[in-house]
Amino acid sequence: MPEALPATFERWILSTRDENAVEEMDKPGCDPAKLARTYAQFPLINRVVSRWHSVYKHQIKPLLSPTQETTLLDIGCGGGDIAADLARWAARDGLRLAITAIDPDSRAIDFARTATTSTPQPGVTFRCAHSASLVAEGAMFDVVISNHMLHHLTPGEFQGLLHDSALLARRAVIHSDIVRSPLAYALFSVGTLPFFPGSFIRTDGLTSIRRSYTAPELRAVLPPGWRVESALPYRNLVLLSPSKPHV
């Protein structure tokens, strides 16, 4: 059965965001073994839920070239699996893509670096950094992305990410996040129940759905120029096409 939500019927039907819920992996003192298993299990859950190959095919690949290097920034990269997948797909297609993957949590970067040491993925560099640090450095990238990050942020952090992304990106910004939906909550609760032992995948996934946005909620808080596209399964793509020259 779906995990119980906070007591009120309003919260049960997920008509409002549960902004006060905190994911276990975001806690500084969380179990390190469970955290490592969570990072290790991200590739499977991301391929089923996040569907970045579709985003790559339709949003990123058309911007890539076999002769000219394209740069991409992955903000809040977690265990680094999406950055590695994007680099692998581009290499398979004969396209030049250099990825910088950042996360302010050193635990995530340590895991990502260890994972890529055992399974090297050329074209990916990991840094423990915040997007604001890269803005301060004057860094720029052709494409800026994030995965399942928006719902983690406070309203101020959310606007800060959009501000940083607009300054860092030359050609495209793609922030992918899950949609808050009672059906998505029920399906994830039941679908993950027999799997992902010893990690935060199920508990944090359910918390993430409770914290996430609907498309109208996102449109209400986005600055001018940003847009929202719906994608399957139960995802929102927050997009920007900056009017900056490609150099």
Where residue 158 sits, what CATH number does that domain have? 3.40.50.150
Reported confidence tier of residue 233, pLDDT bands at 50, 70, 90: confident
pTM of the model: 0.91
Mean per-residue pLDDT, 191-202: 89
pLDDT at position 10 is 40
- Percent of residues, the chain, with pLDDT higher than 90: 77
Q: What is the pLDDT of residue 3?
A: 47
**Does some domain include residue 226?**
yes
91 inside domain = yes
pLDDT at res. 2: 44
DSSP labels, the chain = -PPPPPSSHHHHTT-S--TT---GGGSTTS-HHHHHHHHHHHHHHIIIII-HHHHIIIIIGGG--SSS-EEEEEET-TTSHHHHHHHHHHHHTT--EEEEEEES-HHHHHHHHHHHHHS--TTEEEEE--HHHHHHHT--EEEEEEES-GGGS-HHHHHHHHHHHHHHEEEEEEEEEEBP-HHHHHHHHHHHTTS-TTSSHHHHHHHHHHHPBPHHHHHHHPPTT-EEEEETTTEEEEEE-------
State how many domains the chain has. Answer: 1
* Residue 247 forms part of a structural domain: no
